[in-house]
Amino acid sequence: MAVNTRILLAARPEGAPKPSDFRIEDIPVPEPRDGDVLLKILYLSLDPYMRGRMSTAKSYAAPAAIGDVMPGGTVARVETSRHPDFVEGDIVLSYSGWQSYALSKGAGLRKLDPAVAPVSTALGVLGMPGFTAWSGLLLIGEPKPGETVVVAAASGAVGSAVGQIARIKGARAVGIAGGPEKCAYVRDALGFDAAIDHHAVDFPAQLAAACPNGIDVYFENVGGAVWEAVFPLLNKHARVPVCGLIAGYNATSPSGSGPDRLPVLMREILSRSLLIRGFIQTEFAAAHEAQFLREAGAWVGSGQLRYKEDIVEGLANAPEAFIGLLEGRNFGKLIIRVAP
């Protein structure tokens, strides 16, 4: 008899998550009733926002409860359908979490066509991370031709799309990544105008040199030391869409020890007419997701928008892979292959 392997939140992490914050368990695969589809999970997406779900600190979504299945986006195959809209073998995007099977009533499922693009891209370049990049860059950042766009985690799912879309729109793209291998990929494979290694001791000076005309759009997904290097370079009327702050996700204290940088930030917001705007891509989905899928699908097809997947085999390896994601150990969109 088939088992459903699930990974539960076992404890709220103090600082960086540890393997013992997760618990793995096997239970029977659930029985679909009328109106249900039984999904067999093929791919599980691992994303930085999941760190927020493990914590009770206020965030843009409610935390997972202790004992809950860890949440997450998934690509699944319909094993059994008792729902009129789905048949066995359909491949769907679902939000089934860290487990190998799930029931669904059909709401929120989106059918995927394997002929259009590899279905795993629905978790990356043609999914939530891609739409995060597209919406934050184009709807908030609004880069103009010739302007300079900077993004960190530039070899990752969001950052790689930000820089490439910036270039498609005629802007200069400067990527920040960790280590020479990732930087070479960002520059050579993705075609960014420059790539800077944030491990370099003279990282701020290298970034300044790569942005001789300053920074017009900084797509913020990391915070921390990268923000410190970017901030002095922001031009008048620069735009800063904020979709993540991964550098602080494992912080145990909400505030730093000082000096207090808030007054300087506010003064510069005023004197440089800066725009800073937090966002979650869901707010733009109703109005813009179809356009994104059309445009990004075409760019992927034409080779203008490339992507890299870092696929880890086996659900049991998800906790370790997720811990590595928060440390920047992945290289490309991190995905767990749950079933072949």
Q: Residues near 12 by Cβ (< 8 Å), separated by ≥ 6?
A: 21, 54, 55, 56, 66
Find residue 337's DSSP bridge partners: 43, 313
**List 243, 296, 305, 326, residue binding a copy of itself (CB under 8 A):** 243
- Residue of 271, 286, 303, 340 that binds a copy of itself (CB under 8 A): 271
Interface residue with a copy of itself among 139, 200, 208, 265 (CB under 8 A) is 265
Provide, rounded to whole angstroms, the least separation between the CB of residue 128 and a copy of itself: 16
For Cα atoms 98, 102, 103, give the angle at the middle one, nearest 5 degrees: 150
Rounded distance between C-alpha atoms, residue 248 and residue 238, angstroms: 23
> Which one, 239 or 308, has the nearer CB to a copy of itself?
239
Residue 283 binding a copy of itself, by CB under 8 A: yes
Comparing CA positions, the residue from 292, 337, 290 lying closest to residue 310 is 337
In the complex with a copy of itself, the residue whose CB is nearer, 20 or 273, is 273
Q: Which stretch binds a copy of itself (CB under 8 A): 28-36, 66-74, 118-126, 245-253?
A: 245-253
Local structure of 202: helix, strand or coil: coil
Are the C-beta atoms of 340 and 30 separated by less than 8 Å?
no
Only segment of 93-101, 271-279, 290-298, 309-317 that touches a copy of itself (CB under 8 A): 271-279
Cα–Cα distance between 336 and 50 in angstroms, integer? Answer: 14
- Least CB distance from residue 197 to a copy of itself, whole Å? 23
Q: With left for phi above 0 and alpha for psi between -120 and 50, is residue 219 left, alpha or beta?
A: beta
State which of residues 227, 292, 299, 322 lies at the interface with a copy of itself (CB under 8 A). 227
Q: For residues 120 and 75, what is the distance between their CA atoms, to the nearest angstrom? A: 7
Shortest reach from residue 152's CB to a copy of itself, in Å: 14
Cβ atoms 239, 141 nearer than 8 A: yes
Q: Structure tokens of 220?
A: 């913020």
Q: Is residue 244 within the footprint of a copy of itself (CB under 8 A)?
A: yes
Please, which residue, 257 or 302, has the CB nearer to a copy of itself?
Answer: 257
Give the position of tokens 């901030």. 231
Is residue 56 part of the contact set for a copy of itself (CB under 8 A)?
no
Query: Judged by CB under 8 A, does residue 60 bind a copy of itself?
Result: yes
The binding site for a copy of itself (CB under 8 A) comprises: 52, 58-60, 220, 223, 227, 236-237, 242-245, 248, 251, 254-280, 283
